[in-house]
Amino acid sequence: MTSDKEKQEISVIGRLFSMEIFLVMAGVAFLVMAYVREDAMALFWGLMIIGGSVALHFVRKKDWKKHWEEQEHRHLAYMEWKKREQEKKDQEKNNG
């Protein structure tokens, strides 16, 4: 029981010090710096960093194995379609 509790604590600590949290904190720091200094460039970088960390969250959340399986299925279907079209052209060429 204590082993599970320790793993949960380590997991929480790991999430607190994760790279995503660091990026969000850096973005917020840039936004605060932009407000204090009235600096447009810091505002731009703060928004870009926060936007990037949100995009990173969604990219990491996506099921990539399923995505690549779907892409492979679509590619195979396209190749079959292309083969049928080529066969039709060859048949028309031979008949005509």
How confident is the model over 55-90, as pLDDT tens digits?
888 887 777 788 888 999 999 999 999 999 999 998
Does 43 share its domain with 71?
A: no
Question: How many domains is the chain partitioned into structurally?
Answer: 2
**Does the model's pTM come out above 0.85?**
no
24-62 burial code (b ≥16 CB/10 A, e <16): beebeebbeebeeeeeeebbebbeebbeebeeeeeeeee
Does 85 share its domain with 57?
A: no
Alpha carbon separation from 4 to 14, 16, 18, 26 (Å, rounded): 15, 18, 21, 32
The domain in which residue 72 lies consists of 63-96
